[in-house]
Amino acid sequence: MAATRVLRSEWTKIKSVRSTVWTLGLAAVTTIALGALISALTKSQFDQMPRQEQISFDPTFVSFAGTGLGQLAMIVFGVLVVSNEYSSGMIRASLAAVPQRGTFLFCKVGVATALALVVGMATSFVTFFLGQALLGGRGAELGDPGVLRAVTGAGLYMTLITMFSMGVAAMLRSPTLSLGILMPFFFLVSNILGNVPATEKIGRYLPDQAGSKIMQVVTPADGGAPYGPWAGLGIMALWVLAALAGGFLLLRRRDA
């Protein structure tokens, strides 16, 4: 089957399953709403913040405070796109129609990635402008040094987290198992490893910890990680490539 036909087929599958569409909407709403709330609260409490925090205040990064929660919906989207067919048993029919498993997987990932990129970019720009409006005089402008990179980087971050989830789901095949590993990892384990001194050096190289550096404009008071914003996103991209490669290799070797 030609790749264009496979792409159309995957687009039809995604848009016909309401749960996948709703998760994208939830990711946008959660990220925007929480970012707006944190921005408004930060403005009201700015004068009470310690002097060191005021000096290193990053208004752009504050507006993306909801990304950590919004990414969970993107994770669910990525997992459902890949694993829904396994849980429903439709994977046998899909692989019979598209015996080239590499074409099947990467067309599926390609369509979902394009959707995630559109939603991620739209969400990041809306989140930024709304957050800066709520910060008022404490806010930043899109033309300020590093701000446009951070805003576009936020959209790329959400896209990469979706791709990583698809790779993991392709390896595990089960939506329950995939979400049971990814959710606690990103919501709890990664944060713990990144904030405990004994494991901080390991945690900073995890995909979300490294990738989120792209959203920072001001260097944290503690000096931050030993790499820059684009290098951090590059580390995250390597995790994504590893996950997708693992999913592809296992898809080729296993029966449906």
Lowest-confidence segment of 13-17, 116-120, 165-169 by average pLDDT: 13-17
CA 233 to chain centre: 11
| pLDDT score recorded for residue 256 | 56
What percent of the chain has a predicted confidence (pLDDT) above 70? Answer: 97
Distance CA 225, CA 201 (A): 9
Is this model's pTM higher than 0.85 or not? yes
The pLDDT value recorded for residue 205 is: 94
Distance CA 197, CA 202 (A): 10
Model pLDDT for residues 4-40, shown as the tens digit of each residue: 888 888 888 888 878 888 999 999 999 999 999 999 9
Q: Three-state DSSP class for 145?
A: coil
195-232 as b/e: b if 16+ CB within 10 A: eeeeeeeebbbbbbbbbbbbbbbbeeeeebbeeebeeb
The pLDDT of residue 222: 66
The pLDDT value recorded for residue 52 is 80
Which residue ranges make up each domain of the chain? 3-253
Tokens of residue 256, six digits: 């449906």
Q: What pLDDT shows up at residue 144? A: 94
CA distances from 146 to 32, 141, 151, 159 (A): 21, 10, 9, 20
- What does the alpha-carbon distance between residue 232 and residue 205 come to, in Å, rounded to a whole number? 8
Residue type, 163: M
Which among 144, 158, 155, 149 has a CA at the least distance from the CA of 230?
A: 149
Token pair 């309401």 is found at 18
Nearest to 150 by CA among 217, 105, 98, 231: 217
Q: Which of 209, 215, 220 is nearest to 57 (CA)?
A: 220
Average pLDDT for 113-134: 97
Task: Determine the Cα–Cα distance for residues 74 and 65; give it in Å rounded to an integer.
Answer: 15
Quote the pLDDT of residue 95.
78
Answer yes or no: are the C-beta atoms of 109 and 162 closer than 8 Å.
no
